[in-house]
Structure 1
């Protein structure tokens, strides 16, 4: 049973917990995270160690005070300019889907980025990932560009942006 849910910025000490979480959702990405140019380890290290990037962790605390990652969003500030950011990861634990956790993480990220003077958020996904396409459109993201067949025959990469 869930007692509390807290969203906070990740620390270096969270590395192994984040790694386990990414392994859990690995095969839901296309291509899977462990098949990409950057390994899961490098992806986490670059995000945690870079002063312009971070993860926000949604932690679930159980009755016996055990905390685990229910959701995770990663981002990089100053992606292409001084006023934009890029979401480099977003996933929710399978047991917590359908509860609005992605929206909560994205809204918390928006607040943080606005405080840092960021005006635009960018993100990309693939064309067969219908739940995520619907999510970003619901969150008022707009399509910036489409790379046809970028991830394979009939699988496009879709870049979105949002004005804060």
Structure 2
């Protein structure tokens, strides 16, 4: 049975998270292996055009940053099926008026487990069931304007588009920030 849990010991799922990051690398814009980290704000368009030959090595910095964040895991008997990493107390000018927030930096569900509601369940967990002391007044995230399935989920859950950065990730690909009050 697959469960959704807040995980305080992120190292427990380290290998599985790395595998999901590598498997989903080219689904992100820009690729995760071309980024400087989970909250990179400058140079996303340049990273979109970067060619990464060795994804495994290039993704290590991103992987380490995920492990340093809070984690909600979708797992089945210890095997990770998806995860959401987030920062507590996040602040950035793009989210003015929606801070401090629990900022979701990464959401990935294994391709074999998609369309089963796991991403929705992880979002519901961060919105309503975090351990005391790490809840912030807002939950925020960002994505790219052509990530239609993610955008649809955010809107269904009541998130509001609060900032658009036109062509931030390349021609015709905006960075979009979303927020919701807890």
Q: Distance in 2 between matches of 1:133 and 1:118?
A: 22
1:47 pairs with 2:59: no
Provide TM-score, normalisation by structure 1.
0.85
Query: Aligned in 2, Cα 1:144/1:114: closer, same or farther, shift over 3 Å?
Result: farther
Q: Once the 2 structures are TM-superposed, how far is the Cα of residue 109 of structure 1 from its aligned partner?
A: 1.6
Structure 1 stretches lacking a partner, 5+ long: 62-66
Contact 2:2-2:74 at 8 Å conserved across structures: yes
The answer to which of 130-139 and 72-81 deviates more is 72-81
Kindly provide the CA deviation profile for residues 88-115 of structure 1, in whole angstroms up to 9, marking residues without a partner as x: 0001111111111111111112221776
Does the residue aligned with 2:143 lie in a helix, a strand or coil?
Answer: strand
Q: Distance in 2 between matches of 1:123 and 1:113?
A: 20
Where in structure 1 do 4 or more consecutive aligned residues deviate above 6 Å? none
Contact 2:88-2:135 at 8 Å conserved across structures: no
Match for 1:78 among 89, 94, 97?
A: 89
Structure 2 stretches lacking a partner, 5+ long: 38-57, 93-98
Greater relative contact order (Cα 8 A, min sep 6): structure 1 or 2?
2
Match of 2:15 in 1: 16
Match of 1:95 in 2: 112
1:127 pairs with 2:156: no
Contact 1:83-1:117 at 8 Å conserved across structures: no
Q: Distance in 2 between matches of 1:102 and 1:68?
A: 16
Contact 1:47-1:76 at 8 Å conserved across structures: no
Q: Distance in 1 between matches of 2:135 and 2:27?
A: 32
Contact 1:58-1:70 at 8 Å conserved across structures: yes
Q: Once the 2 structures are TM-superposed, how far is the Cα of residue 142 of structure 1 from its aligned partner?
A: 0.1
Query: Aligned in 2, Cα 1:15/1:55: closer, same or farther, shift over 3 Å?
Result: same
Provide TM-score, normalisation by structure 2.
0.77
Contact 1:58-1:71 at 8 Å conserved across structures: yes
Match for 1:5 among 2, 9, 14?
A: 2
RMSD: 1.9
Does the residue aligned with 1:143 lie in a helix, a strand or coil?
Answer: strand
User: How many residues end up aligned between the 2 structures?
Assistant: 153
